[in-house]
Amino acid sequence: MSTYPKEILQTYTTVFGTTTKPVIVRSPGRINIIGEHTDYNEGFVLPGAIDKAAYLIVALRDDDEIHLVAQDLNEEYRTYVNDIAPTINTSWPNYILGAVAQFKKLGIALKGFNAVLQSDVPIGAGLSSSAAVECATVFALNHLYNTQLDRIAMVKMAQRAEHEYAGVMCGIMDQFASMMGKQDHLIKLDCKTLEYTYVPFKLEGMKLLLLNTNVKHSLASSAYNDRRNECSTAVAMVAKHQPNVSSLRDVSEAMLDAYVKPYDTLIDMRSRFVVQEIQRLVDACNHLNHNDIAALGSKMFATHYGLSNMYAVSCKELDWLVDHVKDNTNVIGARMMGGGFGGCTINIIKEEAIVPLLEALQPAYESAMQLPLTSYVVSIDQGTSLIETYV
């Protein structure tokens, strides 16, 4: 059974006493090994839950007050079930309140609750810290309200919480990986059908190392919309000749050669990356089923340079980090992870090489970029789970 940070229980009993019987839920952050910018093109993604998580200790009240405590921020927030609305001055309550809003839609009478939140998922690193909180809340309330929802239904509720209360129109990967994660396995998720399979991921003598650029460029949201539009344009160009095509999932490189490349080289380059990335993910799963981590690593490098050169969503800091490990024989694979223009690179590295790499890389990066380089070693862990049902 998973453990939890004991200070969260101490805070709960200090603030709320010991008369109620709370539950404690753990819900992890996530990484994505390969399959970037494929989700909104109805392709595949290959995420995994990690061993950094949000923890929520929560118990129902006899009235309809909601009393929230954020352990890490030393902040409190109070409202009532019938008064919930997105908060403006502080963002963290929205991930919890957005989940409550989904239960209100079920039309059942809801009691209020007391809750303390603590998380060791780094914020702003592209590890889906918000999805972890949303999934923890949905899972805890499903247990306490006895709504008997299955995990897929809870994934969708957590995603809607992000859409409606955080105002972020995310795909479903983040919540799916957090809720559905399995230790030592990745999830091959079909973003078109939500069908999924678990793919074994055992790193013998190797680790996943995340390197955080600590940069977030303002281009990210506008470029994201541009890429979506460029992909839609490519689909429309192909669909004039192939009416059964509804997304880049249905498009081949031969179709791009015939219907896109002769007319618009930019649209061709953007859409070709996605078509190639979907195939890379399929190949990567085959490599993993044969425990061929080296072949997976080469696919990761190919993904990075596709994202940088063809899809144009990288930045100098991400490229610097990948360029500086690509010839290191101890680094099996590396790429930028996430939407782009900042965040982390994900690296598969031999365990004994982590310290020497960081000793060389950190001062060089900080000198070149005038930014700190933050690192995290993560492993693939279980998804959302109930870790205590009483105190």
Catalytic annotation, residues? 174
Question: How many CB atoms neighbour CB 140 within 10 A?
Answer: 25
Residue 160 CA: distances (Å) to CA of 143, 154, 176: 19, 10, 12
Query: β-strand 113-119 against 47-60: which pairing, if any?
Result: antiparallel
196 has which bridge partners? 189
Buried b (16+ CB within 10 A) or exposed e, 221-251: eebbeebeebbbbbbebbbeebeebebbbbb
Degrees, nearest 5: CA angle 279-283-289: 150
Buried b (16+ CB within 10 A) or exposed e, 20-37: eebbbbbbbbbbbbbbbb
| Cα-Cα-Cα-Cα dihedral sign, residues 211, 212, 218, 221 | positive
Do residues 353 and 330 make contact, with C-beta atoms less than 8 angstroms apart?
Answer: yes
- Cβ atoms < 10 Å from Cβ of 327: 7
Q: How far is CA 131 from CA 134, 136, 265, in A?
A: 5, 8, 37
